């Protein structure tokens, strides 16, 4: 039975092995009136493999408002559209947010079709704590902006998950080792579900050298995972951090003071906030 009309389906597609495609996704793509694809040429291989002949229309990060409105118009006229990205789950560091948001605002039902997602697959096999994690997507491309972004994450206690481009991965790992410390555990998960799948865990300093010395590890689709910082005990707060907090508490509420102090000192915000509560 095919999908109902006037629906926007968000369809996950394989990140490597085409056998990872779920049957429901094939049915939806075959039955939809139109498929909005990040790259229509790239999607033709998938369509050929599964005998899908549904018309394709391009929809990507650089699509303008006119293209979004055209797709919404198709939906409002009663057509069913399936949104796919080049690989994996749409909207996860891929286009689609604007379309989904506007569709929901106009009362159009949005239905996810679950399937492959690179960072979820990497996290499941990494061997790092997965009960709590934060997905950070792509770091800034420029070195200074990347350093600033990493500094803001220095006290993050959850496992951190990043996507990275092959030509930047060696520099990114080096920067992570400098900010988080070379002893911090990290994982590179590369080419998941493909012929040269690699999942390698090591301290950041060691992982950085391993990747830089092997050009093969600087190819393909890459996920980086970094173990979170150890929780900072109240007794371990340094005198300077305490002094900064005391000054800020004279002007700001505890939560805001902790947030500002964390930006200044790099100390975990929660530890600073808890310290402020002990003063009362």
Supply the pLDDT for residue 25.
98
Q: Which residues of the chain have pLDDT under 70?
A: 1-5, 232-236, 280
Q: How far is 22 from 242, CA to CA, in rounded Å?
A: 54
Burial 39-51 (b: 16+ CB within 10 A, else e): ebeebeebbeebe
Domain range summary for the chain, segments of one domain joined by +: 7-116, 119-226, 234-279
Residue 5's pLDDT is: 58
pLDDT of residue 266: 84
What is the gyration radius of the CA atoms in the chain, in angstroms? 23
Query: How many Cα atoms within 13 Å fall on the side-chain side of residue 267?
Result: 26
- Residue 1 is predicted with a pLDDT of 37
User: Are 156 and 163 a contacting pair, CB within 8 Å?
Assistant: no
Model pLDDT, residue 61: 74
Q: Give the fold, CATH level 3, of 119-226.
A: 3.30.950
Question: What is the model's pTM?
Answer: 0.80
pLDDT for position 2:
40
pLDDT at 34: 97
User: What is the arrangement of strands in the sheet containing 109-113, beginning at the earlier edge strand?
Assistant: 56-58, 34-37, 81-84, 7-11, 109-113
DSSP string covering 160-229:
EEEEE-GGGHHHHHHHHHHHH-TTSEEEEEESTTSTT-EEEEEEHHHHHHHHHH-GGGGSS-EEEEEPPP
Say yes or no: do domains 7-116 and 119-226 share a fold: no
Record: fold of 7-116: Cobalt-precorrin-4 Transmethylase; domain 1 (3.40.1010)
């Amino acid at each position: 039975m095919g999908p109902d009309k006037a629906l926007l389906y968000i369809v996950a597609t394989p990140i490597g092995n085409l056998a990872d495609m779920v049957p429901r996704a094939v049915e939806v793509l075959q039955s939809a009136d139109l498929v909005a694809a990040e790259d229509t040429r790239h999607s033709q291989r998938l369509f050929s493999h599964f005998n899908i002949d549904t018309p394709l229309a391009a929809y990507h990060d650089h699509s303008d408002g006119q293209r979004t409105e055209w797709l919404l118009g198709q939906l409002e006229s009663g057509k069913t559209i399936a949104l796919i990205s080049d690989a994996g789950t749409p909207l996860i560091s891929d286009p689609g947010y604007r379309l989904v948001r506007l569709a929901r605002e106009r009362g159009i039902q949005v239905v996810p079709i679950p399937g492959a997602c690179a960072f979820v697959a990497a996290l499941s096999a990494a061997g790092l704590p997965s009960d709590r994690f934060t997905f950070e997507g792509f770091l800034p491309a420029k070195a200074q902006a990347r350093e600033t972004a990493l500094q803001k994450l220095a006290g993050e206690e959850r496992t951190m998950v990043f996507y990275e481009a092959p030509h930047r991965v060696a520099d990114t790992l080096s920067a992570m080792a400098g900010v988080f410390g070379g002893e911090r555990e990290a994982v590179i998960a590369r080419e998941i579900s493909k012929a040269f799948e690699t999942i390698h865990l090591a301290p950041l300093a060691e992982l950085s050298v391993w990747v830089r010395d092997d050009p093969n590890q600087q190819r393909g689709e890459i996920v980086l995972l970094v173990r979170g910082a150890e929780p900072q005990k109240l007794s371990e707060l340094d005198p300077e951090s305490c002094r900064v907090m005391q000054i800020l508490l004279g002007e700001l509420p505890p939560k805001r003071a902790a947030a500002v102090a964390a930006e200044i000192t790099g100390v975990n915000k929660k530890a600073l906030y808890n310290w402020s509560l002990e003063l009362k």
